[in-house]
Structure 1
Amino acid sequence: MGNGIWRAGALRDGLVVAAAAAATVAIWSLLPVDAWLRGFGAWATGLGVYGPLAFGAIFLVATLLVIPCTPLTIAGAVAFGWWSMPIVLAAATLGSLMAFLAARSLLQDRVRRIIDRRPGWKATADAVGDGDWRLLLLMRLSPFVPFNAQNYALGLTDVGLGAFLLSTVLGMLPGTVLCVYLGVIGRAAGQEGPVHWLSLGLGLAATFGLVVLTRRRVRAKLRARGESRTPTEICAGT
């Protein structure tokens, strides 16, 4: 019974990832995404020494506003190559910390009202809020829970500052490396050749593998703590 449920959940996760990949390809084909990325890169590099600062500031604001930062990370890699990685990590960590502390102080009541209207976010935070940094890290790696939204949700829990920072940096590292890698490929290639599509396919395969591995480990951890639902099921409200 348990294996059947897990297989059904894994199949659902696979379908979600496949749908996301198909949507990405469709958007890339129908919209001038490549032109937008290169336009952003030209704008950022045109600012000279202030370009990295401007990019970091934009990334920080996006983190605070709970805006998905994957396109921005790729755009930064198109502009600055691998040098965008420390900028992304620093800006995202600072933005996450600011959101976390704001949820514990100035914005506590407002964040609590928002979280209370989103049972999935609240249940997810409650499931790991008093856990150690390893359980928190697995949740941070989960692609089914908005990373930037977690910053505010976790601010309402008892998780320690050290565990939050460690899980934040380690949790964002795999996705950041992948996005920067794809951006560097686009920056170097300049055309959609076989190497480009092979690298993109490997990136999507790595993402799918991360989804499956994360789901399995988080489920085991939550079961050990008496929570029978997976993060996917929690967020879906099931």
Structure 2
Amino acid sequence: MDNARSWVRTGLLTGAALAVCVGAWILLPVEDWLRVFSRWANGFGPYGLLVFGVLFFLATLLIVPGTPLTIAGAVAYGWAVMPVILVSATLGSWLAFFAARHLFRERVRALIARKPGLKATVEAVGDGGWRLLTLMRLSPFVPFNAQNYVLGVTDVRTSAYLVSTVIGMLPGTVVCVYLGAIGRRAGGDEPTHWITLGLGLVATVVAVELTRRRVKAKLESAKMDGAKGRMGKADGTGAGA
């Protein structure tokens, strides 16, 4: 019963996220914003893609959401922007990961320590192997760029982190570039769009559910350890007794 409720809750969250995206497109002058950005980007001539790559790299480091920027870049440059995004995002993600692990480790740990839920999530993903890590990177419910810093203080190996980063960003990047390149008529009745979108939703549901279960197990384990420690102190069998 609890398992069924969990899946229903996850499905509702997925639907809500999609509804917000569709509503924003309909209610806000998104198309006008994209046209303005396209004119600005193309104003750099042959250096436009290079400038966009630097901009995307900085956005990754500054934890700026990459989805709007990806769509805007595709509106401006079409599919040619995709390799630029992948390279810039990978480099930015690696630098953020490196900085968190070697420069800001204590600061990031202190931030995580103040949030028990986030701490349990980090522990669950940190020792879950590259498969779970990749699923986590696929999920839009966890900010991709924020993960770069958080994962830097876990036990995740750099090689596994880079592999999961590239694999994790591919589906979302393909969908966003597709939407930007086709514009308002993206998708329509074309099966490729719906298949890609469907696979992304499935990966999201699986990632959220697997991570939720591991986090719950971590929290329950921590509670049991805390209870045993208190009992040990009470009866004099604890450490140092």
**Aligned residue number for residue 124 of structure 1:** 121
Asked if residue 136 in structure 1 is aligned to residue 133 in structure 2, the reply is: yes
**Structure 2: gaps spanning 5 or more residues:** 221-241
Quick check: 1:21–1:204 contact (8 Å CA) kept in 2? no
Task: Provide the aligned C-alpha RMSD in A.
Answer: 2.6
CA apart distance, 1:130: 2.8
Write the distance in 2 (CA, Å) between the matches of 1:201 and 1:207: 11
**Aligned residue number for residue 205 of structure 2:** 212
Compare CA radii of gyration and give the structure with the larger one. 2
Give SS of 2:36's match: helix
Give the 5 Å matches for 1:37-56.
Answer: 37-56=34-53
Write the distance in 2 (CA, Å) between the matches of 1:205 and 1:132: 25
**Aligned residue number for residue 90 of structure 1:** 87
Quick check: 2:135–2:206 contact (8 Å CA) kept in 1? no
Distance 1:141 1:228, change over 3 A: farther
Write the distance in 2 (CA, Å) between the matches of 1:111 and 1:181: 35
CA deviations over 1:137-182 (Å, ceiling 9, x no partner): 1221222222111111111011111011001001111111111111
Write the distance in 2 (CA, Å) between the matches of 1:104 and 1:143: 24
CA deviations over 1:62-91 (Å, ceiling 9, x no partner): 111112111111111111111111111111
CA apart distance, 1:116: 2.1
Match of 1:6 among 3, 7, 28: 3
Total equivalences in the alignment: 218
Give the 5 Å matches for 1:1-238.
Answer: 4-186=1-183, 192=184, 196-198=187-189, 202=194, 204-215=197-208, 222=214, 227=218
Give SS of 2:45's match: coil
**Of 84-93 and 11-20, the range deviating more from structure 2:** 11-20
Give SS of 1:49's match: helix
**Of 172-181 and 26-35, the range deviating more from structure 2:** 26-35
CA deviations over 1:99-138 (Å, ceiling 9, x no partner): 1010012212222222223333322221121332222212
Write the distance in 2 (CA, Å) between the matches of 1:83 and 1:214: 30
**Aligned residue number for residue 189 of structure 1:** none
Amino acid at match of 1:92: A
TM-score, normalised relative to structure 1:
0.81
Quick check: 2:122–2:150 contact (8 Å CA) kept in 1? yes
Give SS of 1:176's match: helix
Give SS of 1:61's match: helix
Write the distance in 2 (CA, Å) between the matches of 1:81 and 1:153: 32
TM-score, normalised relative to structure 2:
0.80
Quick check: 2:14–2:205 contact (8 Å CA) kept in 1? no
Write the distance in 1 (CA, Å) between the matches of 2:31 and 2:21: 12
